[in-house]
Structure 1
Amino acid sequence: MAQISAPFGANTKKKIVGRGYGSKGRHSGRGNNGQNARSGGGVRPGFEGGQMPLYRRIARRGFSNFPFKVEYEVVSLDDISLRYENGETVNPQSLKERGLLKGHDALAKILSNGELTKKVIVEGVKLSAGAAEKVTAVGGEIRE
């Protein structure tokens, strides 16, 4: 059995700078003195040299609905036809078990992509109007 090893040049030693002549040299890649050359030097994130920073130039006004935005994961009727049998219930729990829904608090919406060939009971999942028609057309049931 062959040993697996990293290709040449993949593992290089960390370059230690500012520790004498044997390292990178006099200024150690920090330029010729100044705030950024000092240990602990530098400026805070977002600082623009005294110019009014971008995060303060942009207006903050009005209402944003972003924190209340609700996102649904899309499930197509083709997926349901493949993974469910006749008479089974399609709910968030069963969608998670079959790998169609990820995350513990994810929400799903069934869209009418493809054809539904099996009679299923849809419970606690949103449906598009087209998907609802197709579910009822094959004798399925929609419960809230």
Structure 2
Amino acid sequence: MKLNDIKDNPGSTKARIRVGRGIGSGKGKQAGRGGKGQTARSGVRIKGFEGGQMPLHRRLPKRGFTPPNRLVYNEVNLGRIQSAIDAGKLDIAETITAEALLKAGVVTHPRDGVKILGSGELKAKANFEVDAASKSAVAAIEKAGGTLKIPQAEAAPAAP
């Protein structure tokens, strides 16, 4: 096969319709835009405008609340950590922290911390120091013989 022999499959491309090129083309005069007014003009069209009637997106009630100080964690499954250990990217002799996971390429962005989730199997005995962990992840880490340290949980005062 040569580069000059390459071509698209028949029917995969369509010629564009050239509008406003005379009455005989079928798309002449108003070029498929209908009559006069805002919608016939170029560059001006209000999205959601309903002719003065209150638009649907303003008629519906607002719902929910987004807390301004919420924490966004990098969620990492145990199976992903185990595959990084098997590949030699993580050293189980050292404590596995958010920085170690970032350096190993397990997480890509250092958000507000790392949360470990329990999906997958952890075979290696490893010590973790992360910001959060699910109950199943804590159980799996302790079952493998490792330890889990969550710094924020220790710093928080006990509820009376």
> What is the TM-score of this pair, normalised by structure 1?
0.70
Which AA in structure 2 matches 1:101?
A: V
Deviation at 1:15, TM superposition (A): 2.4
> What is the TM-score of this pair, normalised by structure 2?
0.65
Aligned equivalent of 2:109:
103
Deviation at 1:59, TM superposition (A): 3.2
Identity of matched residues, %: 34
Deviation at 1:52, TM superposition (A): 1.1
Deviation at 1:118, TM superposition (A): 1.1
Query: In angstroms, what is the RMSD of aligned CA positions?
Result: 3.2
Partner SS, residue 119 of structure 2: coil
Aligned equivalent of 1:83:
84
Aligned equivalent of 2:10:
8
Unaligned runs of 5+ in 1: none
Aligned residues of 1:78 and 1:115 also touching (Cα < 8 A)? yes
Distance 1:12 1:103, change over 3 A: farther
Q: Residue deviations 1:81-137, cap 9 Å, x none?
A: 222253243222332344432334264321233432212121234212332233234
Which AA in structure 2 matches 1:80?
A: I
Q: How do residues 128-143 of structure 1 correspond to structure 2 at under 5 angstroms?
A: 128-143=134-149
Structure 1 position 45 matched with structure 2 position 50: no
Q: How do residues 37-76 of structure 1 correspond to structure 2 at under 5 angstroms?
A: 38-40=40-42, 43-60=45-62, 64-65=65-66, 67-76=68-77
Q: Residue deviations 1:45-76, cap 9 Å, x none?
A: 11012211123212348x71355544444322
Deviation at 1:21, TM superposition (A): 4.1
Distance 1:130 1:27, change over 3 A: closer
As a proportion of its length, which structure holds more helix?
2
Structure 1 position 124 matched with structure 2 position 127: no
Distance 1:76 1:46, change over 3 A: same
